Amino acid sequence: MPNLIWPRALSSDVGPSGLIGRSVHWLGVAVAIAFLFTAMGLAADGWAPALATWLTAGAVATALAARGVRYLLARE
User: In the chain, how many domains are there?
Assistant: 1
- Residue 65 in domain: yes
- Residue 52 in domain: yes
Contact residues for 49 (Cβ-Cβ < 8 A; gap 6+): 42, 43
- Residue 3 in domain: no
Task: Give the confidence band of 9 by pLDDT, cuts at 50, 70, 90.
Answer: low
Domain span including residue 56: 35-76
- Residue 45 in domain: yes
32, 63 Cβ separation under 8 angstroms:
yes
| pLDDT tens, position by position, 40-71 | 999 998 888 889 999 999 999 999 999 888 88
Element at 71 (helix H, strand E) = helix 49-74
Task: Give the confidence band of 12 by pLDDT, cuts at 50, 70, 90.
Answer: confident
The chain-wide mean pLDDT, for the chain, equals: 85
- Residue 46 in domain: yes
Write down the pTM of the prediction: 0.78
